[in-house]
Structure 1
Amino acid sequence: MKTLRVKPEFIADFKRGYSLVHRDSVSNQDLLEEEGELFEIVDQHNKLLGTAYYGIQNKGIGWILSTKDGEEIDQEYFINKIKAALRHRESFFNDSMTTAFRVFNGEGDGIGGLAIDYFDGYFMISWYSDGIYQYKDYVIHALDTLTSYRAIYEKKRFDTKGMYIDQDDFVKGTEGDFPIIIKENGMNFAIDLNDGAMTGIFLDQRDVRQTIRDHYSEGKNVLNTFSYTGAFSVAAALGGATETTSVDLAKRSLPKTIEQFSVNSIDFEAQDIKVMDVFQYFKYAQRHALKFDLVVLDPPSFARSKKMTFSTAKDYPKLLEDAIAITAKKGIIVASTNNASFGMKKFKTFIDKAFKDTNTKYKIVEDFGLPKDFRANRDFPEFNYLKVCFIQKLN
């Protein structure tokens, strides 16, 4: 097995349990040849820090799988990891009101680059590098050994360079007749596991949707921006919102949002669904003096349209300023981001800047990170990537 030496300034983090091997943390990564191969990382005294697999994912070249000297990375290893993960989700499997959740969350469950979601009898495996994909047979055999299911689907969330071009998302079992309807805290959502990169819902926002439905929607006029399939709008409507407006640039957002309203027996014609650029909608709303009691901001980390590019890392304050302008006094802005490059503390500085620049007083009423099925190492905030703040506009 090849050995890579960790640079001194990174050793302390690895000893504290950091599991992502960054390109700049090791001195001789050129030794690595094939994604999926195992390698050891050692400190300046040749003391073992961990055994990792080589897999290119963003700034990383791999993930540590074990810190135990001599532990085999074999079928038994994968069975033990997935068994432990399933045990942590027992309460979800026993909850008839929620039938979709994450059962394995990458490094939080001990194998970075691998995620497994459960959708009412169907498993969906997400592979985040070609390196972890080389262990596919181990992962599937572990699911075969430990669970029963209707089918397994997969998403390759890495550049396949044409290697798997003929492969379908279906892996094994009995193919689903999509969309299927899953439950989330009693709400219905239509899901398609064989429709490109997306499924129809982001499971990590479960607690936020429930909070919007149960505490912030009754009698409110709600705006849901970057609305995707309208899941926040569904939650608001079920919570008693007088009206919802869903805005997304993608043309398919219209039929998908209609579908989500319909599976919840909500009259979609009583809701407003707009296919347009969110920033253009903000201008439209200001021109028409529209005000909303609740505004949801959940943009992608990076987006490009014909007229502009948007990055949460630099443009979120401006996005918030646009939202502040059309939020009613005492109204709530739900500000959300899944950008892992900054933490909650930095995110709150974006919020503070936007409100100060608009001479608006505010109060953060509550905030959220990842739900409990999305296990993460709390010592390293970048792994707890989700940041959501409920902000009340005070004047």
Structure 2
Amino acid sequence: MSPLNTLQFRVPEELPACTLEELIRRAWPEGTPAQLSALFAELAVKIDGELTRKPAATPIAGALITVGVPEGEEVYGLPDAVDLARGDGWVIVDKPIGMPGEPVADDPMDPVLFLADMLGLERDTFRPAWTMPTTAGGPWLFGLDDATVASLRRALVGGDAMMTWTAIIARPPMPRGRWSSPSGVAIEYMTTTARGGLCEVQLIARFEEAASMSNVALVEMLLETLSRAGYPVLGDRERGGHMVAGGLRLRLAAIYQESGDLAYSWPMPGDWWPDQPVAPVPEAFQKAKPVVESGPRQIPKLGVSAKTLEVLASQGHPWVLEDAQIAGRAHLPAGSLVELSGPNGEQGPFALIEGPGTLAARVWSKRRDEAEDFDEEVDIRVDEAIARRADFLRTSNTTNTFRLIHGEADGLPGFYLDRMGSILRATLAGGSSMGFKDRVYHNLVEHDPEMIIVEVPHLRDVREGESLPIANLVHRGAGYLKPGEHVVALEDGLRYRCEPWEGIDVGFFADQRDNRRKLAALASSGQRWLNLFCHTGAFTVALAARGAHVTSVDLSRRYLSWLEESLAMNQLPANLNTSIAADCRDYLRDSDERFDGMIVDPPTAAAGSGAFWSVRKDYEKLLTACFGRLEPGGTMLVCRNDRKRTPTLETVVRAAADAAGWKIARVEGAPPAGDYPRLRGFTEGDSFEGLLVYGR
């Protein structure tokens, strides 16, 4: 037997341990039983460099197996004919693991050509855009004529088409980065999920950065690049990958062509992750072994002033502010659990360290058991928060954008979690959340492993930095969402564009859901409404869906373009909205239009076309101008985001109406929706306060 190919792979950590024969059968499905026996008889198998004749041997985990194999003689048979997508001159098929990855044109029994027959395609012109290893599976692009194949290959290496591949490898020290292939192609990677010693990465090949590229063996290039970087793909039989059952863990996840009709993505199969440990956890990711202690968990103390303890006890406010007597937190990382203690040893509540700054900590609990059994308490609070949103989850077919965890009000200080269409978006508004966020994610993945989870840090004022915070992918789930890609959210069956990746503002305020419903119920065809500081126009869409005409005013042309996109997505007539990019104060000054209803929801502070705007000093004057444009008997939604709340919002509203000579019939509260619960005495946790003002 003259070897034609050398296989080289490692033994995975499995129980019970696999025999050497079983491992080789996984790596070489093309071999017949007789060929497999011949490998041992002819001394073609090595364990860590030592020849062996023992097929029943069980090599230790991590051992390197080297096998010289001839061309396999196993007949594959008829493949399953599954086409995932078709277009003009191309088809994407689902390649089965074990089927050869390159057609042999002069072999009438070739399984790849049989695939063409079963799909009703011409086998003579059925050509893959790239070759595949036998042990690989998943989406595979074919051209149906030579010209299309050539065009597809040019698009792939020329940058017109982009592919994202998903692989399972050993965990690299950095969650994202790039490696260079032997041919000069940059391979960008990003970790999406980690389990034990393994992680799932998304891979994008940047062919445009190579000096000269023509046709490339894409999969082989990816495998070679990862192997040279020290991270062979799970199941890579030629480059030292751990030989698990189920084939090579490298699959096409998405393909997109700007100038063509290729735009598809696919989830990973259910057996994608091995059901047993495979590789040891790298030392950099190993957690220190906990010290076994007798008795309850030891929690460090944080000294605070007697005044701080008094405020916490009497007012119920969940924040611990820095004062002259707070000491001993500089060495504690954000998220550390501490017990507050007064100057004379008085016992206070338990809290989580916030980090440097005037906010020292956030209260966790007054109860010792909820501190000592911290992880269990996190689990309970997550479950309770989600259970409180059961009604929203039941109606997610028509409204799939809502808040699942609302920080302190749900007992998870500084942590906010929103459902946005197909993803969960976590906002870290406090360093305290560092102490439990990973536990929350673990709970969420256990509850729904198919959901995408992204995380955006909001640990500083966005005005202090040059760029907005960027979301990180925590868990990829079964869906696919490219960084920077928007999602479409539903509210009462209407569709809205949302931007989950950049910044704190996602382009849609779900906390105004109840107010949109109230105003939509009041609106009717022929009415004229004014939406000031309209943002991306969610109120406009809800009102236009009732047939009302809306004038939408905002300084941001970008947001107004999103509004136009949302109107188009809902197939609403464009003439039901007039978008005006202007300072709202300028619009009120220069316009003489009158309206049946208004929405006034300004930012706390902003720089307009003229003087700086502040809700504390300028709101009454603005509302006076608004009442001057509102018809008698009309309706106005007035919102304010101001923690001081002095004077009261109703005082400001009534003073403005009196100044404009507009008669108020009644005023009623218009708070955030129920999935944004309020904590008594904690106005910092409220997204806004609102009033509905009705005229007479």
1:353 maps to a residue whose letter is A
Check if 1:83 corresponds to 2:83.
no
- 1:302 aligned residue (601, 605, 627): 605
The RMSD of aligned alpha carbons is 2.7
The offset of 1:196, in angstroms, is 3.1
Change over 3 Å in CA distance of 1:15–1:121 after alignment to 2 = farther
Cα deviation, residue 148, structure 1:
3.6
1:129 to 406, 425, 430: 430
Distance of 1:393 and 1:166 partners within structure 2? 42
**Match of residue 656 from structure 2:** 354
Q: Give 1:273's aligned residue.
A: 579
4+ residue segments displaced more than 4 Å: 56-59, 164-168, 379-382
- For the 8 Å contact 1:340–1:383, the answer to whether it is kept is no
Displacement of 1:259 after TM fit?
1.0
Q: Of the candidates 211, 218, 223, which is equivalent to residue 518 of structure 2?
A: 211
Please state how far the C-alpha of 1:205 moved relative to its aligned partner: 0.3
Displacement of 1:293 = 0.9
CA contact (8 A) 2:620 2:653 kept: yes
1:316 and 1:59 map into 2 onto residues whose CA distance is 29
Which whole-Å CA distance do the structure 2 matches of 1:120 and 1:55 have between them?
31
Residue in structure 1 matched with residue 112 of structure 2 by the alignment: none
Q: What stretches of structure 2 of length at least 5 have no aligned partner?
A: 1-299
Q: Counterpart of 1:31 in 2: which secondary structure?
A: coil
Deviation at 1:340?
2.8
Deviation for aligned residue 1:141: 1.5
Which residue does 1:290 correspond to in 2? 593
Shifted more, 59-68 versus 6-15: the winner is 6-15
Segment drifting more, 83-92 vs 306-315: 306-315
Query: What secondary structure is seen at the aligned counterpart in 1 of 2:521?
Result: helix
1:239 paired with 2:546, answer: yes
**Kept in 2: contact 1:123–1:149 (CA 8 A):** no
Asked if the contact 1:63–1:111 (Cα under 8 Å) also holds between the matched residues in 2, the reply is no
1:258 matches 2:557: no
Letter in 1 for 2:408: E
Which residue of the partner structure matches residue 107 of structure 1?
A: 408
Distance change (3 Å), C-alpha of 1:338 and 1:149: farther
Counterpart Cα distance in 2 of 1:314 and 1:376? 26
Distance 1:196 1:4 in 2: 36
Determine if contact 1:342/1:382 at 8 Å carries over to the other structure. no
Matched, 1:188 2:502: no
Cα distance between partner residues in 2 of 1:211 and 1:53? 39
Question: Equivalents in 2 of 1:238, 1:200: separation in Å?
Answer: 19
Partner of 2:326: 29
Moved more, 362-371 or 204-213: 362-371
Q: Deviations over 1:296-315 (max 9, x none)?
A: 10011111235221121222
- Once the two structures are superposed, residues 50-98 of structure 1 have per-residue CA deviations (whole angstroms, 9 ceiling, x without a partner) of 1111216996322111211252364323222111111111111001321
Residue aligning to 2:359: 60
Question: After alignment, is 166-175 or 182-191 more displaced?
Answer: 166-175
- Structure 2 residue identity aligned to 1:301: T
Tell me the equivalent position of 2:446. Answer: 145
In structure 2, the CA distance between the partners of 1:157 and 1:382, relative to structure 1 (3 Å rule), is closer
User: In 2, distance between residues paired with 1:57 and 1:347?
Assistant: 33
For 1:385 and 1:266, how far apart are their aligned partners in 2? 30
What secondary structure does 1:363 align onto? strand
For the residue of structure 1 that corresponds to 2:372, the secondary structure is coil
Shift of 1:146: 3.1
Give runs of aligned pairs for residues 32-51 of structure 1, distance below 5 A. 32-33=329-330, 34-43=333-342, 46-51=345-350
TM-score (norm 1): 0.88
Structure with the higher fraction of residues in helix conformation = 1
* Change over 3 Å in CA distance of 1:22–1:175 after alignment to 2: farther
Alpha carbons 2:552, 2:578 under 8 Å: kept: yes
1:155, 1:197 within 8 Å by CA — same for their partners in 2? yes
Find the residue that maps to 2:621 and give its secondary structure.
Answer: helix
Cα shift at 1:232: 0.6
Q: Is the 8 A contact 1:299 1:312 kept in 2?
A: yes
What residue identity is the alignment partner of 2:659? D
What's the TM-score once normalised by structure 2's chain length?
0.52
Give me the whole-angstrom Cα distance separating, in 2, the residues matched to 1:14 and 1:260.
48
CA contact (8 A) 1:338 1:385 kept: yes
Mean Cα deviation higher: 365-374 or 29-38: 29-38
Alignment of 1:325 onto 2:631: no
Structure 1 gap ranges (5+): none
Q: Structure 2 vs 1, CA of residues 17 and 267 (structure 1 numbering), >3 Å: closer, same or farther?
A: same
Deviation at 1:381, TM superposition (A): 4.6
Which residue of structure 2 aligns with residue 5 of structure 1?
304
Q: In 1, distance between residues paired with 2:316 and 2:335? A: 21
Q: Distance in 2 between matches of 1:99 and 1:378?
A: 28
Aligned letter for 1:335? V
Q: How has the CA–CA distance of structure 1 residues 329 and 246 changed in structure 2, closer, same or farther, with 3 Å as cutoff?
A: same
| Structure 1 counterpart of 2:675, one-letter code | D
How far apart in 1 are the matches of 2:686 and 2:524? Answer: 27
Match of 2:455 in 1: 154
Sort the Cα spacing of 1:184 and 1:138 in 2 relative to 1 into closer, same or farther, 3 A: same
Deviation track 1:2-23 (CA, whole Å, cap 9, x = no partner) reads: 3222433761543563212233
CA contact (8 A) 2:349 2:365 kept: yes
**Cα distance, 1:14–1:203 mapped onto 2, change above 3 Å:** farther
Deviation string, structure 1 residues 158-213 (Cα, Å, up to 9, x no partner) = 22998x99964322214426433222122221222124332221111000011111
The corresponding residue for 2:666 is: 364
Distance 1:15 1:323 in 2: 41
Partner SS, residue 125 of structure 1: strand
Higher relative contact order (CA 8 A, sep 6+): 1
* CA deviation after TM superposition for structure 1 residue 382, in Å: 4.7
Q: Cα deviations across residues 246-300 of structure 1 (Å, max 9, x unaligned)?
A: 1110120221110111121112244201111111111121xxx211111110011
Are the aligned partners of 1:249 and 1:276 in contact in 2 as well (CA < 8 Å)? yes
Conservation of the 8 A alpha-carbon contact between 1:4 and 1:29 = yes
| SS of residue matched to 2:402 | strand
Displacement of 1:218 in angstroms is 4.3
- Conserved? CA contact 1:127–1:156, under 8 Å: yes
Mapped to 2, the partners of 1:16 and 1:323 lie a distance apart of: 37
Are the aligned partners of 1:182 and 1:190 in contact in 2 as well (CA < 8 Å)? yes
Which residue type is aligned with residue 315 of structure 1?
Answer: D
The structure with more radius of gyration: 2
Moved more, 228-237 or 331-340: 331-340
How far apart, in 1, do the equivalents of 2:347 and 2:412 lie? 18
- In the aligned structure 2, how far is the partner of 1:319 from the partner of 1:59? 33
In 1, the alpha carbon distance for the partners of 2:594 and 2:452 equals 46
Matched residue of 1:112: which SS?
A: coil
